[in-house]
Amino acid sequence: MTDKKTQEGIYTDFTNKMTYGEYLELDQLLASQKRLSNHHDEMLFIIIHQVSELWMKLILHELTAAIQSIQDGELATAFKMLARVSKIQTQIIQAWDVLSTLTPSEYMEFRDQLGQASGFQSYQYRMIEFALGYKSKHILAIYKKDALLHDKLTKALHSPSIYDVAIQALNNEGFFIEEQLLERDYSSPYVANHTVEAAWLEVYRNVDQYWDLYQLAEKLVDIEDWLQQWRFRHMKTVERIIGHKPGTGGSAGVSYLKKVLDHRFFPELWDLRTKL
């Protein structure tokens, strides 16, 4: 088959038709990489972080919909969304492998141009933490500059996390959950509860009877597992590039990143593995 025949039917006249570039607004997207220095590797630094923010946007899109689906009692619908989140997380983790090709000497050539800007300030990452249940009110101070963004984060802070609605799903199935937990202040960090652990243990001991809840629990474990792997790769990449220097945003850098590795989002789902 000739090349001419294989190309028959391909559109070439887009005078009155939308193009691929127009649909994706590529002119705007590809014009958003503006280096503040003349250093070659700053382009890598910008693109890695922009791509990660795009993936985080999709994670939030999926988590928000999954939370609503669980609240509506449509657990099977949520499973597809949560499985997609896990796949997205693998992409973000692999991005650290690309960034780690940046050497300390190369980064120092343009690091000062960043000023106090830092990935620590990523509001989408904070929104993901909020959606998973890690609530920290003090972090909102970083976003006071933008009133609309501050309001958005404040709303997310006070909204139920995916673990809150998972616990509500346990209650809806007839498991005993302490009333104070069902009516708790969602802006406060979640603290492990014995009635929640007892409920999840029953689910794992009777998988066939509670298959949907069991699947939900495992999807949540997948997400936390991948998030911790993301955190670890983040920490090691930072250590590889800047050692133990403070972050540009004023954080303690590697020591801070090591500390957050100890945090757990869904504690009972991890503890029950020892008790089964």
Condensed to tens digits (0 to 9), the pLDDT of residues 154-189 reads 999 999 999 999 999 999 999 999 999 999 999 999
Answer yes or no: is pLDDT of 251 > 80. no
The CA-to-CA distance between both ends of the chain, in Å, stands at 62
Gyration radius from the chain CA atoms: 22
> Is the Cβ–Cβ distance between 62 and 87 less than 8 Å?
no
| Alpha-carbon dihedral angle through residues 64, 65, 69, 70, given to the nearest 10 degrees | -30
Structural contact between residues 238 and 253, judged by C-beta atoms closer than 8 angstroms: yes
Q: pTM score, two decimals?
A: 0.92
Domain spans in the chain, listed from the N-terminal domain onward: 40-103+119-274
* Cα–Cα separations (whole angstroms), residue 48 to 119, 172, 195, 245: 11, 42, 42, 21
When the pLDDT of each residue in the chain is averaged and rounded to a whole number, the result is 93
Q: Is 45 annotated in some ligand binding site?
A: yes
48 known ligand binder: yes
Residue 12 assigned as binding residue: no
Any known ligand binding at 20?
no
Q: What is the 3-state secondary structure (H, E, C) of 202-221?
A: HHHHCCCCCHHHHHHHHHHH
* Top CATH class, 40-103+119-274: mainly alpha
Residue 138 has pLDDT above 70, yes or no: yes
pLDDT of residue 119: 79
Q: Is 46 annotated as a binding residue?
A: yes
Within 10 Å of residue 126's Cβ, how many Cβ atoms? 21
The alpha carbon of residue 117 and the mean position of all alpha carbons in its chain are separated, in whole angstroms, by 20
**Residue 248 assigned ligand-binding role:** yes
Who contacts 81 (Cβ-Cβ below 8 Å, separation ≥6)? 62, 63, 65, 66, 69
Residues 6+ apart with CB under 8 A from 33: 43, 46, 47, 50
> Beta-carbon neighbour count of residue 89 at 10 Å?
21
Which residue would you say has higher pLDDT here, 60 or 234? 60
**Digit-coded pLDDT (tens) for 72-101:** 999 999 999 999 999 999 999 999 999 999
* 162 marked ligand binding residue: no
